[in-house]
Amino acid sequence: MIIMSVDLGKARTGIAVSDKSESFAFPKTVITEYHTDKLVEKIAELSKEYEAELIVVGYPKNMDGSIGSRALECKEIAEKIEEISGKEIIMWDERCTTLSAHTALNSTDTRGKKRKAVVDAVAAVIILEDYLNFRKNNK
pTM as predicted: 0.84
Our CA angle for 81, 124, 94, nearest 5°, is 85
Q: 104 or 87: which carries more pLDDT confidence?
A: 87
Q: What are the φ/ψ torsions at residue 91 (nearest 5 degrees)?
A: -85, 130
pLDDT digits (tens, 9 = 90+) for 12-50: 899 999 999 999 999 999 999 999 999 999 999 999 999
pLDDT digits (tens, 9 = 90+) for 53-88: 999 999 987 777 778 888 899 999 999 999 999 999
CA 82 to chain centre: 14
What does the CA dihedral 12, 58, 55, 77 come to, rounded to 10 degrees? Answer: -70
Q: What pLDDT does 27 receive?
A: 92
Q: Which of 55, 97, 61 is nearest to 80 (CA)?
A: 55
Q: Which helix (H) or strand (E) holds 104?
A: helix 97-107
Reported as a pLDDT band with limits 50, 70 and 90, residue 115 is: very low
Q: What pLDDT does 23 receive?
A: 93
What are the structural domains, with CATH classification, of the chain?
3-137 (3.30.420.140)
Q: How crowded is residue 56: how many other Cβ atoms within 10 Å of its Cβ?
A: 29
